[in-house]
Amino acid sequence: MAEVGRLTALAHGGGCGCKLAPAMLQSLLEHTPMAAGFVDLLVGPETSDDAAVWRLNDEQALVASTDFFTPIVDDPFDFGRIAAANALSDIYAMGARPIFALAIVGMPVKELPAEIIRSILAGGAQVCAAAGIPIAGGHSIDSIEPIYGLVALGLVHPDRVLTNKGGRGGDRLILTKALGVGILSAAFRQGRLPPGAYGALVASTTQLNEVGARLSAASGVHAVTDVTGFGLLGHALEMCRGANLSAELFAAAPDLLEGVEALARVGVRTGAALRNWESSAAWVRLPADLPEWRRDLLTDPQTSGGLLIAADPGCCEAVLGQVRAAGFAASRIVGCLSPGPPEIRVTWA
């Protein structure tokens, strides 16, 4: 039996760093039939959005998503909380409010004591209760690695769905959380996490992105996605492709979680950060003087990361003020959209 509490020792990776690389995912889906021909399917897989959206009637659309992963931390209660907050983020990113969730549970039952598994489930239930929803059921299996997550369902007005394809030329890009979750999780596994950084990691990854539900009615908000396993660069590129626009990202603009810069400077990173870069490099131009650790921050996989918001420049400061007032003090303007092919130019400012 594995050392009690060492959940990360039972998994090959953790959090959204376990996601398939964007290039591999694209290859796997390349010949998969798209969900065309359903008039009430408002959002399907074609634009790499955060959730599917189905029109129920003139006033309501159902938003549905699923997200699950292996442990990013050893504390089972924190693991459950992080996984649940991450799953609900997809609903908030579409401008919706969650209504209930179903649990996805895969556990190595011969390796983990029952009380550890119960604590994971309790953590997920606590976050869902904070979001005002129940976990109404789910499914469980005996698996080699610990896996936990949710099927999340929400509601939004059909005319207020936020997608990653609505951006317009001139829009400013706002990121609502600090970067560095992947770097901190890598340092955690290596036993190199500095004092105070664990608290910053958990506080960020368990903060619900519920402000997204309010952004659906905010003036000047044109597009939203959440920044997770593909990193800021990868999810910004999806926004560019959805809107058929170019983007400029300011390399030094995003806020960083406590301890991240020092760790990045000495080469702490995840394998997923490298896979993310290899998948997006052909569509990205970097400044010649950008150090590799700065690039790693842009491709660092974010578990339960922030929202990336495309907002009209005339409304940008008001939107920034709204998300900061909602508790996202790390919110920053990190770039802008412009006419051009779907690619990204990284600059210093």
In sequence order, what are the residues at sequence separation of 6 or more whose Cβ sits closer than 8 angstroms to the Cβ of residue 230?
Answer: 19, 22, 237, 238, 276, 279, 280, 299, 301
- H helices, E strands: number in the chain: 11, 13
- Cβ neighbors of 199 (< 8 A, separation 6 or more) are none
Tell me if 211 sits within 8 A of 311, measured CB to CB.
Answer: no
Residue 169 dihedral angles phi and psi, to the nearest 5°: -55, 130
d(CA 84, CA 103): 9
- Which is the catalytic residue, given 16, 18, 128, 316? 16
The token duo for 41 is 């399917």
Catalytic site residue 18?
A: no
One DSSP character per residue, 34-85 reads: P-TT-TTEEE-GGGT-SSEEEE-SSS-EEEEEEEEE--SSS-HHHHHHHHHH
- State the sign of the Cα–Cα–Cα–Cα dihedral 70, 76, 80, 81: negative
Copy the structure tokens of residue 185.
Answer: 């999780």
DSSP state of 196: T
CA dihedral 211, 213, 150, 81 (to 10 degrees): 20
* DSSP state, residue 17: G
Are the C-beta atoms of 306 and 227 separated by less than 8 Å? yes
What are the C-alpha distances in Å from 134 to residues 131, 152, 313?
Answer: 9, 10, 38
Residue 135's DSSP bridge partners are 101
d(CA 42, CA 286): 35
Q: How far apart are the first and last CA of the chain?
A: 51
Catalytic residues: 16
